Chain A
Amino acid sequence: QVLLQESGPGLVKPSETLSLTCTISGESISTYYWSWIRQPPGKGLEWIGYIYHSGDTKSNPSLKSRVTISVDTSKNQFSLKLTSVTAADTAVYYCAKGSATGTSWFAPWGHGTLVTVSS
């Protein structure tokens, strides 16, 4: 059974960098694409980006150059950094497993972690 767990600070100050890590158990990170997806409170879902174990990444143009996704295969983890955050970045952040190709569906998802941007 594949399980994903997000971790990181729940509160980030405006203009600072949001950093989250997703730890995968029950599956090797080296087989699939792995994504970050977020959901502002009471709103819909926004795909942030993906990473492959080779380091191949792709991110949503809506987030421009603020997103960095990295992988640590030795720890079976991948991470998200989002710079220059504002209140609009307040959301539940999910990590999710994609397919063996870049474009994919997402299953399973982590439980999600709420990140609030506030001073």
Chain B
Amino acid sequence: EIVLTQSPATLSLSPGERATLSCRASQSVSNYLAWYQQKPGQAPRLLIYDASNRATGIPARFSGSGSGTDFTLTIISLEPEDSAVYYCQQRINWPITFGQGTRLEIK
């Protein structure tokens, strides 16, 4: 099973700042990595797939990069509504696995 390790566990930033979230895989997942946003009481929402492709309706402030074992989700010009938990997910190997999440707090 591929283990995805996300860092940091919590990130606290102010509106307008830039957030950088990391996801590291225990073995190469090529570019088969996605990012999700989950707000309290809501289901996760797909943000990024195949490492760098924005899902439908996702603002350009969200971008993904990386390949192999190291991936980054970048959110520029943070807005209060970006406060959420962010998860990464790999699909190259069974079982599909998720990271443990990074909580982003907007001050």
Contacts and interface: CB of A to CB of B under 8 A. Distances in A.
Contacts of B36: 106
23 contacts: A35-B96, A44-B101, A45-B44, A45-B87, A45-B98, A47-B97, A62-B95, A96-B43, A103-B32, A103-B92, A103-B96, A105-B49, A105-B55, A105-B91, A106-B36, A106-B44, A106-B89, A107-B45, A107-B46, A108-B43, A109-B44, A111-B43, A112-B43
Interface of A: 35, 44-47, 58, 60-62, 94, 96, 103-112
Determine chain B's interface SS by DSSP, over half rule: loop
A109 B97 contact: no
A70 to B, nearest CB: 19
Interface of B: 1, 32, 34, 36, 42-46, 49, 55, 87, 89, 91-92, 94-101
A3 to B, nearest CB: 12
Q: 7 shortest A-B CB distances, which residue pairs?
A: A109-B43, A107-B46, A47-B96, A45-B98, A60-B95, A103-B91, A105-B49
Contacts of B97: 47
Contacts of B99: 44
